[in-house]
Structure 1
Amino acid sequence: MRKSTAFLTALAMAGCTLSAPLGVLPETKVNAAGGFDMNIKVDLKGERKEISPLIYGVNQYTTDLKSVKTTAVRQGGNRMTAYNWENNASNAGSDWKHSSDNNLSDSNPPAEVVQRLSKEAAKYGVDYKMTTLQMAGYVSADKDGTVKEDEVAPSKRWNEVKFTKGAPFADEPDLTDGVVYMDEYVNYIINKLGDSQSPTGIQGYSLDNEPVLWNDTHPRVHPEPVTIEELGNKSIELAKAVKKLDPKAEIFGPALYGYTAFDHLDDDEQHTESGDVKSKNNYHWYLDCYLDQMKKASEEEGTRLLDVLDIHYYSESARTGAEDRVQSVRTLYEEGFSENSWIGQWCMQNVPILPTIKKSIDTYYPGTKLAISEYNFKGGEDTSGTIAQAEALGCFADQGVYLATLWGGEPFIISGINLYTNYDGKGGCFGDTLIPASTEDVSKSSTYAAVNDGDESKVTVMITNKNMTEAENAVIDLENASKDYKSAAVYAVYGDNDQVRLLDIVKDVKDNKVNVELPAFSAAMVVVSDDAAAFDGEKIYEEKKVTEKTEEFKDPSSMINKNGYVEIPITDPEQVSKIVINGDVTSSAGSGWATARLCSMHQRKGQGRQGFLDIQELQSPAGQGSVRYRKV
């Protein structure tokens, strides 16, 4: 990978914060004059819903666990489809030259990848871990680089996958037999880490990843489109193998990539299998068929073979820009909402999407949980990402989602999770029991509220302000409360800073009404307490004057140092609080995505070391991208 000819380095000087020049969002102020009014109703006696703690999850390979307080971690993605647990080889497929290599691990001990997952989760206090099992038919046999078109499986570049060994498991796998056994893999995991009930074990197993895209992402492994029969049969057989070894482990499937797969799997003008099956069985869409297959097989086997229906969701309208992004979550939950995309134009029969999926579950396999193991509403470089993320988590809580794991690690999106799980930097979190909450106009402001089960001394209320230019004057009315609430703290993400900050402390709560002012284009967690002194000693964030300096380097090749890296000079480094590097990202291999790694920049004082975060990695579609460094 390489960076192209233009670097823009934006520096924040004079002890202040920096925003990257976004160009599309107007400047916002903390206390904008005027603003709009919004009444927010929270009903303390309304219907209550238990919130699954696993909705605040992330994906291992896209999110640094030290940057977020999370509750679940998934090991998945395209790389896992052809992962060989015996030697830790994997294949990138069309994402990168169809390369079989050491991307996931350069170590040789079997199952090192999943053992590392367990160690990382333990380090950061993440209890729930899910990994991906291989179901497409073949895995990488080596780490020798690009697999050519004439080396499509079966060939020496691949090892065959079999779900059951039918013979005693070996203490160490046979690296010479050309076969990888899934049940032997699960048994190996159990022997090394414990079963799903062990703190170090694996709690969930995903039946591969995005099978509808196997022939697109991994054509050297599975060149033909997956069929309903193949996906159903493989899911059933692999689930049986896992359950025999670890009956309490949760099976996730089928990890479909998006809306069209929910509806018709892989049908196109040349393939009509899904349409025929739907017509014959009176199914509404493909998800009905999958649930029905798994239920019937479970009844025959005498054990549940699908614990969690697993989907991926990448919003179509969120791609079009910030204004659409902050409305995009509504497609998941709001009756009659039509988003600005082909889904809003052509697919309204399944909107809102999550209630439609839950109806399928209730009809064809009651008791099955729901997971969204990959999702992203974009907006990682501004507060539109925080707003969408915050609304999404509230939606997941309200719709009874069991597990959700964000795909991505962009700072503003990560702050949307931290707003729920660590708003005060001390582990302060959204309540575990959802209570009814509403705004007058969800297009302007969304809200979700919660208390902890059996304890109403604190009410947490998430509020968004979707207006780009005006502050929101919100009045939170805590209706039917059995307590007198006396104080509140407002934690928010706003402006050009991706961190959750204490915006205000409200001391004059009267008649259980809380008046708060939210900055334009922000997301906030309002924590209301029955203790007047609950927030004594907390320090409200003070705005500092922002000075930006932008420098353009048109010929970075002339700035390469003796170690082969582009060295960007920084004047007055003690006054710099953040650096943003923007550039045109291209791939020398012509791939649609490019990766650039930028090392940290440090200044030294005496024996100590001060500077910026360590190595940062930019993964971006070909085009523009940016990397941010924050001073530590």
Structure 2
Amino acid sequence: MVEITVDGTPGHPISPLIYGVNFGTTETLKDLRIPINRSGGDSASAYNWRIDARNAGKDWYYESLSCDPKAINDQFGPRFISLTRKGKAQPMISLSMLGWQAKLGPNRARLASFAITKYGPQQDNDAVGMFDAGNGFKPDGTPITDNDPHDAQTPSDVQSEQERLRHLVKQFGANGVPYVILDNEPSLWQLIHRDVNPTGLHADEIASRVIAYSKAVKAVSPKTQVVAPEEWGWHGYHYSGFDQQYAITHGMDHTPDREGITAGMDYVPWLLTQWKAAGHPIDVFSLHFYPQEGEYSDSDKPEVERARNRSTRDLWDPTYKDPTWINSVVALIPMMRQWVNQYYYPGTPIALTEYNWGGEHHMNGATAQADILGIFGREGLDIATRWGDLAPDMTVYKAIKLYRNYDDHGGAFGDISLVAHTPDPDEVSAFAARRKADGAVTLVVINKRLDAPAHVRISLTNLPDQGKVQVWRLADNALTHEPDTRYSEGVITATLPQQSILLLVLPREKKANVKRS
């Protein structure tokens, strides 16, 4: 029997913006009641708003290609804002700071940064879309370094992106662009966009670019919230792009920027000190995070599923040392909060604008997603937008629906956090909250076990000692409404099948005795 305790004493508010996504369709936004929708990623760095084209960078043979008006992941401009607003969500768009943007050939033809006809045979090429587009490496693995960046891209600057924002504000109004992200994972540009940015940027270059672009944003749209730095992961939190590139050959000891620019400070905290010295250029502090044991895949191998079960601790647990190459305690949300409180302005909103634990078509992915959303609420994250496709047949889609619209009538997990405790969150985790609108208490219990049910005993304190229980269950990729039950003496018992999620809703009753702790 797994003993779970829930304390009904009201805690902190849960931000609704933690239930965000990237590139959500209007239909997805409506069905999941998604509050915020992000347009970002690698292609956003080289998006040319004047011709509606993007350069895919390393993700797809460094090709510049026309954006498909029917493809949701190709929406970086006005179409994205329109479809997002139709879904009753807030758009979060990315501005480019890369300094280069896609260009197209005659009749909007694709262009290649490493054309085989110009630079010779290469290790790989786009055999399905543009045969001439190589991957930028010679057959022996040597990188091509003498390419002309003008082959497939054209220079851009802060004035061009300011003009882009001006057009959007004119079209959608002063409140039509609530969030602007300043590019995407800049400390990886020397890898993702090496056709135009072969050398990693120094820490002070990123600091100054953010300040300049923020000023341009505020000059056009003072109410728009500026979001940065959008760094990619553990090394991106601690080392500049220049230092990461240097370390490939020379190792992490004595990296030039850390010794010569940041005076020994980690890269991202140092950025915060520079931005604070410049005034208040960013309004939301944002990072990305992906687990590193193969979780970000659709694998259902037991070792990967066990990694998914435990690695959500990276988001919160100061006693959990990540066993991968990270080899350190991450405790991401507390770390982000500590960084803004110490190095920037206390209380600055913190955002995780890309994350994904994989397993989208397996119940293990659903239990991980449900665990993550519960952690976000409990730990006080302000904004989160999940990366990756979503479709109604996916298990993770249904896990999100359990939190946001479990009954197809707006039924949702509560917005005032309550304390829920379980003995081993790698096996069974639980999250509780009260809804302000109707006073109902909501409890999510997650059985992460791969091959065994979980018998749970939930003890309630500072809550009614008896009452009605509404039950929803996600198991075997089916979200079902189970028969209502009742509980008494402040105790609820239930059995969860292996890899399943249980949502219990305790409606507020007019007269009830409250069991005190």
The TM-score with structure 2 as length reference comes to 0.83
The one-character-per-residue Cα deviations of 1:21-74 (angstroms, maximum 9, x if unpaired) are xxxxxxxxxxxxxxxx1121111125x111111110110169972663311100
> What is the Cα deviation at residue 408 of structure 1?
1.3
- Structure 1 segment 550-629 matched on structure 2, within 5 A: none
Q: Is 1:293 matched with 2:268? A: no
Residue 150 of structure 2 aligns to a residue whose secondary structure is: coil
Structure 1 counterpart of 2:239, one-letter code? H
Structure 1 counterpart of 2:446, one-letter code? T
Structure 2 counterpart of 1:259, one-letter code? W
Q: Is 1:155 matched with 2:159? A: no
The answer for the alignment partner of 1:44 in structure 2 is 8
Asked whether the equivalents of residues 429 and 447 of structure 2 are also in contact (C-alpha less than 8 Å), the reply is yes
> What is the Cα deviation at residue 156 of structure 1?
5.8
For 1:86 and 1:426, the matched residues in 2 are separated by: 41
The one-character-per-residue Cα deviations of 1:421-463 (angstroms, maximum 9, x if unpaired) are 011222110111111111122121111110123753x100111
> What is the Cα deviation at residue 144 of structure 1?
2.9
The answer for the alignment partner of 2:40 in structure 1 is 76
The one-character-per-residue Cα deviations of 1:462-499 (angstroms, maximum 9, x if unpaired) are 11111122221222222012x4541112212212x2x4
Structure 2 counterpart of 1:115, one-letter code? P
The one-character-per-residue Cα deviations of 1:78-113 (angstroms, maximum 9, x if unpaired) are 111111111101111121121111134499xxx984
Structure 2 counterpart of 1:315, one-letter code? P
For 2:151 and 2:289, the matched residues in 1 are separated by: 36
For 1:152 and 1:90, the matched residues in 2 are separated by: 19
Change (3 A) 1:252 1:104: farther
> What is the Cα deviation at residue 130 of structure 1?
0.5
The answer for the alignment partner of 2:319 in structure 1 is 336
Q: Is 1:327 matched with 2:310? A: yes
The one-character-per-residue Cα deviations of 1:574-626 (angstroms, maximum 9, x if unpaired) are xxxxxxxxxxxxxxxxxxxxxxxxxxxxxxxxxxxxxxxxxxxxxxxxxxxxx
Structure 2 counterpart of 1:291, one-letter code? L
More deviation, 357-366/57-66: 57-66
Asked whether the equivalents of residues 85 and 91 of structure 2 are also in contact (C-alpha less than 8 Å), the reply is no
> What is the Cα deviation at residue 275 of structure 1?
2.4
Residue 446 of structure 1 aligns to a residue whose secondary structure is: strand
Residue 500 of structure 1 aligns to a residue whose secondary structure is: strand
Q: Is 1:258 matched with 2:233? A: yes
The answer for the alignment partner of 2:479 in structure 1 is 500
Q: Is 1:476 matched with 2:458? A: yes
Change (3 A) 1:64 1:326: farther
The answer for the alignment partner of 1:33 in structure 2 is none
For 1:470 and 1:420, the matched residues in 2 are separated by: 24
Asked whether the equivalents of residues 309 and 368 of structure 1 are also in contact (C-alpha less than 8 Å), the reply is yes
- Higher RCO (CA < 8 A, seq sep 6+): 1
Asked whether the equivalents of residues 88 and 106 of structure 1 are also in contact (C-alpha less than 8 Å), the reply is no
Change (3 A) 1:279 1:194: closer
Which residue of 110, 114, 124 maps to 1:145?
Answer: 110
> What is the Cα deviation at residue 152 of structure 1?
4.9
Identity percentage of aligned residues: 29
For 2:147 and 2:15, the matched residues in 1 are separated by: 42
The TM-score with structure 1 as length reference comes to 0.68
> What is the Cα deviation at residue 159 of structure 1?
2.5
Asked whether the equivalents of residues 113 and 151 of structure 2 are also in contact (C-alpha less than 8 Å), the reply is no
For 1:468 and 1:106, the matched residues in 2 are separated by: 39
- Structure 1 segment 79-118 matched on structure 2, within 5 A: 79-105=43-69, 113-118=76-81
For 2:49 and 2:4, the matched residues in 1 are separated by: 52
The answer for the alignment partner of 1:187 in structure 2 is 166
More deviation, 463-472/145-154: 145-154
Structure 2 counterpart of 1:354, one-letter code? I
Q: Is 1:232 matched with 2:207? A: yes
For 1:491 and 1:50, the matched residues in 2 are separated by: 24
> What is the Cα deviation at residue 515 of structure 1?
1.7
The answer for the alignment partner of 1:402 in structure 2 is 382
The one-character-per-residue Cα deviations of 1:512-551 (angstroms, maximum 9, x if unpaired) are 322222111112221112349xxxxxxxxxxxxxxxxxxx
- Structure 1 segment 250-399 matched on structure 2, within 5 A: 250-266=225-241, 267=243, 268=247, 269-270=249-250, 272-276=255-259, 280=263, 283=265, 285-298=266-279, 304-317=280-293, 318-319=295-296, 321-343=304-326, 346-348=327-329, 351-366=330-345, 367-399=347-379
- Structure 1 segment 2-41 matched on structure 2, within 5 A: 37-41=1-5
Q: Which runs of 5+ in 2 are unaligned?
A: 120-145, 297-302, 511-517
Q: Is 1:135 matched with 2:114? A: no
> What is the Cα deviation at residue 229 of structure 1?
1.3
For 2:194 and 2:461, the matched residues in 1 are separated by: 57
Structure 2 counterpart of 1:146, one-letter code? L
